[in-house]
């Protein structure tokens, strides 16, 4: 079967491409923006990539066209599919029908931490010898790829609340029918498709409705927004996790930087994690992953040992290089809560030097300015804040960042940021780049400039 994917270089659709290729299908795809690591993965898998969205890419006619949620009416390839009556589907629907059906699906949902927690969970199952399949919105370093078929029955999927396609406005995750569901947290996000928090909660409750009574929901003990979702109706056992609350899954004897901690369930100490990660947010992710893995039959002691060998996910506090004593990190953070927890985690690991935060407001929600007023507070742990302000930014950055005073500087070009760091960074400093895109290759440009 020949499957052509529109929007193939998105993390999700790129994963679909890899799964389809592993199933023996011929896979090709089109996209407008191609950058690593996804483009590299696809090329290594032998998947044909085409630039742009020409209808010629659909000749000869493929058996199926999988359409990513970034595609909209008016796109020439989309219009060709509809005009010619080609068989088409969404990525989540294809995944549900061709991969997930009949498998034990472990889904990880939430505003923050989905990718990292999915990576942890897949690695725990792998380390336990279960050879799980997975589709994750990033590249876990333990695997080196974002998707694989694995062996039955287990499949870990990052359960995203973003909409499915232009012809299916339900959240992606309603297609997956998990038996084990992690819900990490819930805040307002994706303002380009959701009017308010209640609209997101409605989709989360659609997800809750699909979990069988013999399944398990793993949820935080102190997230009021998720509790409101469960209060709408829940037919599945729920296990709670909270870093410090009594009962459920929690931690004790935590190192200040989060590099080691005891894991407890109902006040019984089950083991001690010693790992490369840090930050309170990752401790929460770890608890959720351990709980979900136990439901799949992995003893907590085995999961705890596995986390000691977990290598995290690319672009999640990834050290891209060190030049002249200056470290450059890359992180996907693009929501005030994620920005704050990321900075807090890195600050706790630093024993000297300054923390220089570089922010690209790139997501649709960020460009719309929905969380703009929260940004200064979320950046409090940084010594210096460098903000990229492209022409399409829909809010007044100079006004928003006034509370930070001289600590914040605004830049209209990436090159200007690179030159500021080249002149201003000192040995011992950490430079943290936060963006959910390629950011014009700023990470390597910073390293090259520092080296010169």
Which CATH number characterizes residue 302's domain?
3.40.1190.10
Among the candidates 307, 334, 359, a domain finishes at 307
Domain count of the fold of the chain? 3
Q: Which residue has the higher pLDDT, 215 or 196?
A: 215
Residue 64 CA, chain-centre distance (Å), reads 27
What is d(CA 33, CA 52) in angstroms, rounded to the nearest whole number? Answer: 8
Q: Are 279 and 241 in contact (CB under 8 A)?
A: no
Would residue 224 count as lying in a domain? yes
| Confidence band, pLDDT 50/70/90 cuts, at residue 28 | very high
Q: What is the mean pLDDT of residues 201-217?
A: 97
C-alpha pair distances (Å), 423 with each of 164, 284, 356, 381, 420:
45, 38, 13, 22, 5
- Tell me, yes or no, whether 70 and 137 share the same domain: no
Greater model confidence, 111 or 289:
289
Q: Specify the pLDDT at position 192.
A: 77
What are the C-alpha distances in Å from 250 to residues 102, 240, 254, 280, 307? Answer: 33, 9, 11, 12, 16
Whether residues 303 and 322 share a domain: the answer is no
Q: Across the chain, which distance is largest between two alpha carbons, in Å?
A: 63
344: exposed, middle or buried (Cβ count in 10 Å: 0-12, 13-18, 19+): middle
Q: Is residue 333 part of a domain?
A: yes
Q: Give the domain CATH number at 39.
A: 3.40.50.720
Q: Is residue 441 part of a domain?
A: yes
Q: Does residue 112 sit in the same domain as residue 225? A: yes
Lay out the sheet containing 249-252: strands in order across.
147-148, 133-135, 154-158, 104-109, 180-183, 216-220, 238-241, 249-252, 260-265, 268-274
- Residue pair 42/35 in contact (Cβ under 8 Å)? The answer is no
Residue 41 binned pLDDT confidence (cut-offs 50, 70, 90): confident
Q: Quote the pLDDT of residue 281.
A: 86
CB 361 within 8 Å of CB 374: no
Quick check: is 51 in a domain?
yes
Name the percent of the chain in helix, strand, coil, to the closest 5.
35, 25, 40
Ranges 164-168, 405-409, 434-438, most confident? 164-168
What letter would DSSP give residue 138? Answer: S
Residue 97: inside a domain, yes or no? no
Is the CB of residue 353 less than 8 Å from the CB of residue 428?
yes
What are the two backbone dihedrals, phi and then psi, of residue 21, each rounded to the nearest 5 degrees? -65, -40
* Residue 250 to residue 242: CA distance in whole angstroms: 5
Last residue of a domain, one of 307, 336, 356: 307
The C-alpha atoms of residue 164 and residue 151 are separated, in whole angstroms, by 26
Residues 323, 445, single domain; the answer is: yes
Same domain, 375 and 435: yes
Per-chain mean pLDDT for the chain: 91
Q: Print the domain residue range for 14.
A: 2-90
Q: How far apart are CA 289 and CA 34, in angstroms?
A: 31
Paired strand residues for 240: 219
Q: Is the model's pLDDT at 313 over the cut of 80?
A: no
CA atoms within 13 A on the CB side of 123: 26
pLDDT at 368 over 90: no
Q: Which helix (H) or strand (E) holds 439?
A: none
Residue 264 has pLDDT above 90, yes or no: yes
Domain assignment present for residue 298? The answer is yes
> What integer pLDDT is reported at residue 157 of this predicted model?
98
> CA nearest 330: which of 19, 37, 2?
37
On whether both 325 and 441 belong to a single domain, the answer is yes
Sign of CA dihedral 165, 441, 314, 226: negative
Q: What is the CATH number of the domain that holds 396?
A: 3.90.190.20
Average pLDDT value for residue range 419-431: 92
Sheet holding 2-6, edge to edge: 48-51, 26-31, 2-6, 64-67, 88-90
State the Cα–Cα distance between residues 387 and 367, nearest whole angstrom: 13
121-130 pLDDT per residue, tens? 999 999 999 9
Per-residue pLDDT, averaged over 326-332, amounts to 89
Q: Judge if 366 and 246 occupy the same domain.
A: no
Instruction: Clarify whether residues 262 and 196 are in a common domain.
Output: yes
Residue 240 to residue 234: CA distance in whole angstroms: 14
Answer yes or no: do 25 and 160 share one domain: no
* In-domain check, residue 154: yes
Percent of the chain exceeding pLDDT 90 equals 64
Q: Assign 108 a pLDDT band (cuts: 50, 70, 90).
A: very high
The set of residues, in sequence order, having a beta carbon less than 8 Å from that of 169 and lying 6+ positions away, is 163, 193
pLDDT at position 438: 78
- Residue 96: inside a domain: no
Q: How confident is the model at residue 37 (pLDDT cuts 50, 70, 90)?
A: low
For residue 139, give the H/E element and its range. none
Predicted confidence at residue 217, as pLDDT, reads 98
Nearest-5° Cα angle at 162, 160 to 165? 115
Task: Say yes or no: 400 and 375 in one domain.
Answer: yes
What Cα–Cα distance (Å) separates residue 128 from each residue in 153, 300, 394?
Answer: 14, 11, 48
The per-residue pLDDT for 299 is: 97
Question: Does residue 257 sit in the same domain as residue 296?
Answer: yes
Q: How far is CA 245 from CA 18, 141, 251, 283, in A?
A: 41, 32, 9, 14
Q: Of 267, 284, 307, which closes a domain?
A: 307
CA distance 161 to 365: 14
Q: Is the pLDDT of residue 36 over 70?
A: no
Q: What is the pLDDT of residues 371-398, one digit of tens each?
A: 778 888 889 889 999 999 888 787 888 8
Q: What is the structure's pLDDT at 392?
A: 78
How much of the chain exceeds pLDDT 70, in percent? 99
How buried is 238 (Cβ within 10 angstroms: 0-12 exposed, 13-18 middle, 19+ buried)?
A: middle
Query: Looking at residues 171-178, what average pLDDT do you find?
Result: 96
Residues 30 and 146 in one domain: no
Q: Which residues contact 82 (CB under 8 A, 6 or more apart)?
A: none
Lowest mean pLDDT among 24-28, 48-52, 170-174: 48-52
């Amino acid at each position: 079967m020949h499957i052509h994917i529109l929007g193939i270089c998105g993390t999700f659709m790129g994963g679909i491409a890899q799964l389809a290729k592993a199933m023996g299908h011929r896979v090709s795809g089109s996209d407008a923006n191609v950058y690593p690591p996804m483009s590299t993965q696809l090329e290594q898998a032998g998947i044909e990539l085409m630039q742009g969205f020409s209808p010629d890419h659909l000749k000869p006619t493929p058996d199926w066209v999988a359409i990513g949620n970034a595609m909209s009416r008016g796109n020439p390839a989309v219009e060709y599919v509809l005009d010619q009556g080609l068989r088409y589907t969404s990525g989540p629907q294809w995944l549900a029908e061709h991969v997930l059906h009949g498998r034990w699906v472990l889904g990880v949902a939430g505003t923050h931490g989905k990718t990292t927690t999915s990576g942890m969970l897949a690695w725990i199952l792998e380390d336990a010898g279960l050879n799980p399949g997975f589709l994750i919105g990033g590249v876990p370093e333990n695997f080196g790829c974002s998707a694989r078929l694995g062996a039955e029955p287990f499949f870990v999927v990052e359960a995203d609340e973003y909409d499915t396609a232009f012809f299916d406005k339900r959240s992606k995750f309603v297609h997956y029918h998990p038996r084990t569901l992690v819900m990490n947290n819930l805040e307002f996000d994706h303002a380009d498709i959701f009017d308010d928090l209640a609209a997101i909660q409605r989709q989360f409750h659609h997800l809750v409705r699909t979990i069988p009574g013999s399944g398990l929901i793993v949820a935080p003990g102190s997230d009021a927004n998720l509790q409101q979702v469960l209060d709408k109706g829940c037919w599945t056992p729920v296990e709670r996790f909270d870093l410090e609350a009594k009962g459920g899954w929690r931690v004790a004897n935590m190192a200040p930087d989060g590099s080691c901690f005891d894991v407890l369930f109902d006040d019984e100490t089950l083991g001690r994690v010693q790992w490369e990660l840090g930050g309170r947010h990752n401790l929460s992710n770890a608890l959720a992953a351990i709980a979900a893995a136990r439901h799949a039959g992995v003893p907590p002691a085995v999961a705890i040992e596995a986390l000691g060998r977990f290598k995290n996910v690319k672009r999640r506090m990834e050290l891209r290089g060190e030049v002249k004593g200056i470290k450059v990190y890359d992180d996907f953070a693009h929501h005030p809560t994620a920005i704050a927890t990321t900075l807090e985690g890195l600050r706790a690991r630093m024993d000297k030097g300054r923390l220089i935060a570089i922010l690209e407001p790139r997501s649709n929600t960020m460009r719309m300015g929905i969380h703009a007023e929260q940004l200064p507070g979320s950046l409090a742990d940084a010594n210096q804040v460098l903000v990229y302000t492209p022409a399409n930014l829909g809010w007044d950055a100079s006004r928003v960042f006034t509370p930070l005073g001289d600590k914040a500087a605004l830049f209209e070009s990436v090159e200007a940021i690179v030159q500021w760091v080249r002149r201003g960074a000192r040995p011992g400093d950490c430079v943290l780049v936060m963006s959910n895109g390629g950011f014009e290759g700023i990470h390597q440009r910073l390293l090259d400039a520092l080296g010169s």
